Structure 1
Amino acid sequence: MTGRHDAVILAAGGSRRLGRPKQLLTRDGETLAGRVSRLVASTQPGKTIAIVGAYAEHLCGRLNGALPVFNPDWTTGMASSLHLAADALAGRDGPVLVVVVDQLALDEVHLERLLREHDGTQDTVTAYGDAAGVPAVLRARTLARAVTLQGDSGFRALWTGHDVHRVRNDALAQDLDTEDDVARAVAAGLLDRQ
């Protein structure tokens, strides 16, 4: 898929429930923002943007070549970041890999599988448990529809059953929202002791 896709890293959140920036937690000495941007870079996208907000000044030097785009409205929810991503990639017609920073089980193998299975007829999403979401490979027209989203709505609001191809990875259901999540991740060796 070299150069045939673009990528978006969603990293603007304020980690309100955690009470500290999850983007700056480390795994093997590497920040989570740095780790996910390195994983994305391994897929060789044509253009990579990282939507930053709450901790922008701490993130910009840790994005492995991703272009930071500041979201001044990050407190309003994910939709504002998706609007900026759509604006930043307007006019580009290839698929778009979308990731977040707090899925500790994410690896290059899963990203490559998503890209490999994406045939352009529908969005290719990660399935975990009963849900489906990011990481995902979106058609350019799906990303363009982000302007219709509001608040904390993500792309799930745009998908119906026939709009997506699901690639199962139940390990990606676990993310970081609370100190208990952090403690479990440290115990599992997925995060450094902070």
Structure 2
Amino acid sequence: MRVGAVVLAAGGSSRLGRPKQLLVHEGRTLVRRAAEAAVAAGCEPVVVVLGAHGEAVAAELAGLPVQTVDNPEWQVGMGRSLRVGVRALPEVDAVLVLLCDQLQVDSAHLKTLVDTFAKTHAPIVASGYEGARGVPALFSRALLPELEALEADQGARKVIVRDPSRVVEVPLPGGGEDVDTAADLSRLSPRAGG
């Protein structure tokens, strides 16, 4: 079974005012943490979608067995980055979609998503947190056209909520803890010096 991963790292971090992908948490930048987690979970290939601050973000991935792809339309929304990432994958059985700013996501959680997919063959294996299902989430090959067809301003959650009967949920305590604003950054900084 071959599971690829798409790490969405193209955003401009407008609410934060600086590239969140380059913030340091636990000694590594957020984008490197996400890419390393996907690699450690056994995903291959790992595609990192770049956009804003592309060169600086790509430099943070040096030495990792990942492929970067540029989304020239990153400003229009996450749906476009998903399309770019999915189209960059070769033939895979499933794709794991993840963001770089979810602080509780690690390789163990991603491996649990992959293992759950292998056991259940569910069309979608999604993370459950804050009363909802979201990313990181794994989508079977049959659903890749749905990811590619998302509107520019839609994320993978749109596919997850479309038909709850095709989703298996894996709990992710603290999954909603991410970095979007200066307040989030100040919460992160005491732990990481970021």
Counterparts of 1:42 and 1:86 in 2: how far apart (Å)?
20
Q: RMSD in angstroms over aligned alpha carbons? A: 1.5
Aligned residue identity for 1:89: L
Deviates more, 1:163-172 or 1:48-57: 163-172
2:88 matches 1:88: yes
Partner-residue secondary structure (3-state), 1:172: coil
Q: TM-score, normalised by structure 1?
A: 0.91
- Structure 1: 5+ residue runs without aligned partners? none
Paired residues for 1:81-160 under 5 Å: 81-89=81-89, 92-118=91-117, 119-159=120-160, 160=163
Counterparts of 2:12 and 2:106 in 1: how far apart (Å)?
24
Between the two proteins, the alignment pairs up a number of residues equal to: 188
Report the CA distance between 1:83 and its aligned residue: 1.0
Partner-residue secondary structure (3-state), 1:58: helix
Q: Moved runs in structure 1, 4+ residues, more than 6 A?
A: none
Report the CA distance between 1:170 and its aligned residue: 2.7
Partner-residue secondary structure (3-state), 2:125: strand
Counterparts of 1:59 and 1:4 in 2: how far apart (Å)?
26
- Structure 2: 5+ residue runs without aligned partners? none
1:20 to 9, 15, 18: 18
Deviates more, 1:20-29 or 1:81-90: 81-90
CA gap 1:14/1:113 in 2 versus in 1, 3 angstroms: same
Identity %: 34
1:182 to 166, 169, 185: 185
Counterparts of 2:88 and 2:121 in 1: how far apart (Å)?
20
Q: Which position in structure 1 is the counterpart of 2:38?
A: 40
Q: Which position in structure 1 is the counterpart of 2:70?
A: 70
8 Å CA contact retained: 2:122, 2:168: no
